Chain A
Amino acid sequence: MINQSDKHSLSSGEGWGKATSLSSGEGRNEVLHLSNLSFKHGKIDVFSNLNWIVKKGENWALGGVSGSGKTALAKAIIGDLDVAGSVETNFDLTSSLRPETLYVESWYQFKNVEGVANFYYQQRYTSQQAKETLTVNAELAHFGKEKSLNLSDTKSLINALGFAELSNSQLIELSSGEHKKLQLVKALWLQPQLLIIDQPYTGLDAASRKNLNRLLDNAAEKGTTLILISNDEELPSCVNRYAAIANGKLKILDSAPSSDFAEADLQRELPKFLKQAPVYQSEQIAKMVNVNISYGNKKVLKNINWEVKAGEKWLLQGHNGSGKSTLLSLINGDHPQSYANELYLFGKKRGSGESIWDIKQHIGLISPEFHWYFDSNATVWESVASGLYDSVGLFARLPYSKAKQVDETVEYFGLTDCKNERLANLPLGKQRLVLLARTVIKNPELLILDEPCQGLDKAQTEYFNHLVSELSQHGMTIIYVGHFEAQLPKCLSKKLVLSHGEVIKNENIIKEDKAKDSTVTVQF
Chain B
Amino acid sequence: MANYFNTLPLREQLNQLGVCDFMDNAEFLDGVEALKGKKIVIVGCGAQGLNQGLNLRDSGLDVSYALRKEAIEAKRDSWKNATENNFKVGTYEELIPNADVVVNLTPDKQHTSVVNAVMPLMKKGATLLYSHGFNIVEEGMQIRKDLTVIMVAPKCPGSEVRAEYVRGFGVPTLIAVHPENDPEGKGLAQAKAYCVGTGGHRAGVLKSSFVAEVKSDLMGEQTILCGLLQTGSILSFDKMVEKGIDAGYASKLVQYGVEVITEALKHGGVSGMMDRLSNAAKLKAFEVSEELKDIMRPLFQKHQDDIMSGEFSRTMMEDWANGDKNLLAWRAETGETAFEKTPAGDVKIGEQEYFDNYLLMVAFVRAGVELAFETMVEAGIKPESAYYESLHETPLIANTIARKKLFEMNRVISDTAEYGCYLFDQACKPLLGDFMKKVDVDLVGKNFNEGKDGSVDNAELVRVNEILRNHPVEIVGTKLRKAMTAMKAIKTA
Contacts and interface: CB of A to CB of B under 8 A. Distances in A.
Contacts of B59: 355-357
A9 B54 contact: no
Contacts of A395: 168-169, 202, 486
A377 B487 CA distance: 11
Nearest to A390: B168
B429 interface: no
Contacts of A399: none
Interface string B45-70: 00100100010011110000000000
A372 B47 CA distance: 24
Nearest to B37: A353
A115 B492 contact: yes
- A interface: dominant SS: loop
B80 A127 contact: yes
A357 B492 CA distance: 31
A390 B168 CA distance: 7
Interface of A: 9, 114-116, 118, 120-123, 126-130, 295-296, 333-334, 336-337, 339-340, 353-358, 375, 377, 386, 389-395
Contacts of A129: 77, 80-81
Contact of A116 (B86, B162, B346, B492): B492
Nearest to B50: A128
A375 B486 CA distance: 11
Nearest to B167: A392
The 5 closest A-B pairs by CB, nearest first: A391-B168, A127-B84, A129-B77, A340-B86, A392-B167
Among A121, A340, A386, A392, max chain B CB count under 10 A is at A392
Interface string B163-203: 10011110000000000000000000000000000000010
A471 to B, nearest CB: 24
B459 interface: no
Interface in B305-347: 346
B438 interface: no
Contacts of B492: 114-116
B488 interface: yes
Contacts of A130: 47, 77
Contacts of B169: 391, 393, 395
Given A116-B490, A337-B86, A375 B77 contact: no
Nearest to A339: B86
A120 B47 contact: no
Contacts of A120: 162-163, 166-167
A130 B37 CA distance: 31
B471 interface: no
B403 interface: yes
B489 interface: yes
A263 B308 CA distance: 73
Contacts of A123: 163
Which of A339, A375, A386 has the largest number of chain B CB atoms within 10 A? A339
A393 B84 contact: no
A63 B391 CA distance: 50
Contacts of B84: 127, 295-296
B364 to A, nearest CB: 24
Given A120-B166, A355-B59, 4 more contacts: A118-B488, A118-B490, A336-B85, A375-B488
Contacts of A115: 403, 492
Nearest to A358: B60
B36 interface: yes
A353 B36 contact: yes
A342 B85 CA distance: 15
Contacts of A118: 163, 488, 490-491
Nearest to A111: B492
Contacts of B77: 129-130
B81 A128 contact: yes
Interface in B13-57: 32, 36-37, 47, 50, 54, 57
27 contacts: A114-B403, A114-B408, A115-B492, A118-B163, A120-B166, A120-B167, A121-B166, A123-B163, A126-B162, A127-B81, A127-B84, A130-B47, A337-B85, A339-B86, A340-B86, A353-B60, A355-B58, A356-B166, A357-B59, A358-B60, A375-B488, A389-B168, A391-B168, A391-B169, A393-B168, A393-B486, A393-B488
Contacts of A334: 166
B404 interface: yes
Q: Range of interface residues on chain B?
A: 20 to 34
Contacts of A390: 168
Interface in B81-113: 81, 84-86
A488 B417 CA distance: 57
Contacts of A391: 167-169
Nearest to A374: B167
A296 B491 CA distance: 32
A394 B488 CA distance: 11
Contacts of A354: 60
Nearest to A12: B348
B404 A355 contact: no
A215 B224 CA distance: 57
A116 B58 contact: no
Contact of B86 (A114, A333, A336, A375): A336
A295 B85 CA distance: 9
A111 to B, nearest CB: 9
B137 to A, nearest CB: 30
A391 B486 CA distance: 11
A277 B324 CA distance: 67
Contacts of A337: 85-86
B60 A355 contact: yes
A295 to B, nearest CB: 7
A293 to B, nearest CB: 10
Interface string B476-489: 00000000001011
Contact of A126 (B54, B167, B403, B488): B54
B396 to A, nearest CB: 12
A128 B50 CA distance: 9
Contact of A114 (B81, B163, B167, B404): B404
Contacts of B404: 114
A241 to B, nearest CB: 36
B346 A9 contact: yes
Contacts of A392: 166-168
Interface centre among B54, B57, B59, B168 (most CB of A within 10 A): B168
Nearest to B85: A336
Given A128-B50, A355-B59, A393-B167, A377 B202 contact: no
A334 B202 CA distance: 20
Interface string B183-227: 000000000000000000010000000000000000000000000
Contacts of A353: 36-37, 60
Nearest to B46: A130
Nearest to B399: A116
Contact of B58 (A128, A356, A377, A389): A356
Contact of B85 (A127, A375, A394): A127
Nearest to B203: A395
A31 to B, nearest CB: 29
A518 B58 CA distance: 44
Contacts of B163: 118, 120, 123
Contacts of A386: 168
A392 B202 CA distance: 14
Nearest to B84: A127
B323 to A, nearest CB: 26
Contacts of B346: 9
B94 to A, nearest CB: 18
Given A355-B58, A395-B486, A375 B167 contact: yes
B44 to A, nearest CB: 13
Contacts of B490: 116, 118
Interface string B443-467: 0000000000000000000000000
A393 B162 CA distance: 16
A334 B57 CA distance: 12
Contacts of A9: 346, 348
Contacts of B80: 127, 129
Contacts of B491: 116, 118
